[in-house]
């Protein structure tokens, strides 16, 4: 008899997901079957299932009915016949980054440069992304999913499945900090410091040895909460209270910061980034990891004169995910700042649409299939 499972499926844009009974998949030779225990939800999930095809018609969603769920964590229940290292019973985070595996970028370990780059259970940035969705149609809003062994991050015992459900955004911030060359003694400016990526970048930046972190945001209460993470190393400014570039230069004796992480939310005004990027010092870096999606006016002579680098950063490698797990294992980062808000699969629609983000990047919205 075929074993069945419950999965939340989206049949149509704008409609609620329905709980459907479908067969439990069998893993292909290089895949594993994961029993999903928790799947993180981020504010952008509501945009993806309600507005995406209108906003970003060139970034395809999976064919409907589709199982979404970007950040799953769970236990390996079966392994494919060609999987020799991963064992049944292993606790894992499943990175949703899928790629072809055979192009030059994939073979050099830079899967996010692959032309097939697709975020499983979310959307693809590739024209042929549906080919990947056909291979991996199961997102995290499902009791079981298949996953390629290359996507697994092994979880230490002291990281809960709920905390692992935030690894996607912690990892994305970590990838951005790596692209910025973050390290001891540096000063950073984080745009949108109170959001999911912003708080994660702050916690990680402190762990990576940054001397000072300057951050901007809109909500004063949340800005104070971020500052409280390390009051003598963090300075915050409310957006709208003057120019962040002038503020940052003032706090750095006129030099500017070593790098800017722009972690603004989707639909944030580009003027915010336009301003904050001017706070970098000569030779500094601007890393965009946020959701701002407008054209930016740039003085390219300034880039040349001051040798500024503007870098786009998208997701992270499974190796970086493993580094994150290791930092959590040995206490270099403390994930207890995350406040779990759990929802059973039966309340998935409420969890996605009701996500008011009142506590910004401190809230951890989780579906537990």
Integer distance in angstroms from the first to the last C-alpha of the chain?
Answer: 22
Kindly tell me which residue out of 36, 38, 39, 100 binds Zn ion, with binding defined by CB under 5 A.
Answer: 100
User: Residue 52's CB: how many other CB atoms inside 10 A?
Assistant: 17
Half-sphere exposure of 105 (CA within 13 A, CB side): 12
Indicate the residue among 6 and 314 with the shorter CB distance to Zn ion. 314
**Taking contact as CB under 5 A, which single stretch among the options 13-21, 92-100, 224-232, 264-272 is the one that binds Zn ion?**
92-100
- 3-state class (DSSP) for residue 240: strand
Cis peptide before 141 (omega within 30 of 0): no
Shortest spacing between CB 147 and Zn ion, in angstroms: 17
The Cα 302–Cα 300 span in angstroms is 5
Stretch that binds Zn ion, among 103-111, 190-198, 278-286, 323-331 (CB under 5 A): 103-111
**At its nearest, how many Å lie between Zn ion and the CB of residue 270?**
31
**Identified binder of Zn ion from the candidate list 13, 75, 86, 103, rule CB under 5 A:** 103
Residue 13 touches Zn ion, criterion: CB under 5 A: no
Total of residues contacting Zn ion (CB under 5 A): 5
132 vs 366, beta carbon nearer Zn ion: 132
Q: Cα(361)–Cα(170) distance, rounded to whole angstroms?
A: 10
7, 24, 67, 106: which one binds Zn ion (CB under 5 A): 106
Closer to Zn ion by Cβ: residue 106 or 201: 106
239 binds Zn ion (CB under 5 A): no
Q: Residue 59 or 142: which CB sits closer to Zn ion? A: 59
Work out whether 99 is an interface residue with Zn ion (CB under 5 A).
yes
Closer by beta carbon to Zn ion, 106 or else 277: 106
CA-to-CA dists, residue 117 to 41, 130, 164, 266, 369, angstroms: 20, 11, 22, 20, 26
- The sign of the dihedral angle between the CA atoms of 254, 255, 258, 263 is positive
Residue whose Cβ sits closest to Zn ion: 114
Candidate residues 17, 32, 34, 114; the one interacting with Zn ion per rule CB under 5 A: 114
Name the region of 9 (left: φ>0; alpha: ψ -120 to 50; beta: rest). Answer: beta
Six-digit token string for 49 = 């299932």
Interacting residues with Zn ion (CB under 5 A): 99-100, 103, 106, 114
């Amino acid at each position: 008899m075929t074993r069945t499972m419950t999965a939340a499926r989206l049949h149509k844009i704008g409609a609620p997901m329905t709980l459907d009974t479908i067969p439990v998949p069998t893993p292909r030779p290089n895949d594993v079957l994961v029993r999903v225990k928790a799947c993180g939800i981020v504010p952008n999930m509501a945009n993806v299932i309600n507005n995406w095809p209108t906003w970003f018609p060139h970034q395809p969603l999976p064919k409907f009915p589709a199982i979404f769920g970007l950040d799953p964590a769970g236990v390996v229940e079966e392994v494919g016949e060609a999987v020799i290292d991963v064992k049944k019973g292993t606790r894992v985070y499943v990175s949703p980054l899928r790629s072809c595996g055979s192009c030059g970028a994939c073979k050099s370990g830079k899967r996010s440069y692959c032309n097939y780059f697709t975020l499983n259970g979310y959307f693809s940035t590739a024209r042929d992304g549906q080919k990947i969705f056909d291979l991996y149609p199961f997102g995290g809003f499902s009791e079981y999913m298949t996953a390629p062994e290359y996507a697994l991050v092994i979880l230490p015992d002291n990281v809960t499945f709920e905390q692992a459900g935030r690894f996607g955004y912690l990892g994305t911030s970590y990838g951005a900090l790596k692209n910025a060359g973050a390290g001891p003694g540096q000063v950073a400016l984080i745009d949108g410091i109170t959001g999911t990526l912003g708080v994660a970048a702050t916690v990680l930046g402190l762990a990576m040895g940054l001397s000072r972190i300057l951050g901007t945001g809109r909500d004063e209460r949340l800005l104070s909460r971020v500052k409280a993470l390390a009051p003598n190393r963090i300075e915050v400014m409310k957006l709208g209270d003057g120019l962040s570039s002038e503020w940052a230069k003032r706090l750095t004796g006129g030099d500017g910061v070593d790098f800017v992480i722009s972690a603004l939310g989707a639909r944030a005004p580009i003027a915010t980034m336009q301003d904050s990027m001017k706070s970098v010092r000569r030779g500094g870096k601007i890393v965009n990891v946020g959701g701002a999606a407008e054209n930016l006016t740039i003085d390219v002579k300034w880039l040349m004169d001051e040798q500024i680098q503007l870098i786009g950063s998208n997701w992270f490698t499974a190796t970086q995910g493993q580094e994150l797990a290791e930092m959590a294992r040995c206490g270099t980062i403390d994930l207890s700042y995350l406040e779990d808000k759990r929802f059973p699969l039966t309340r998935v629609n409420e969890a996605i649409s009701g996500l008011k983000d009142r506590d910004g990047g401190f809230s951890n919205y989780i579906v537990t299939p």
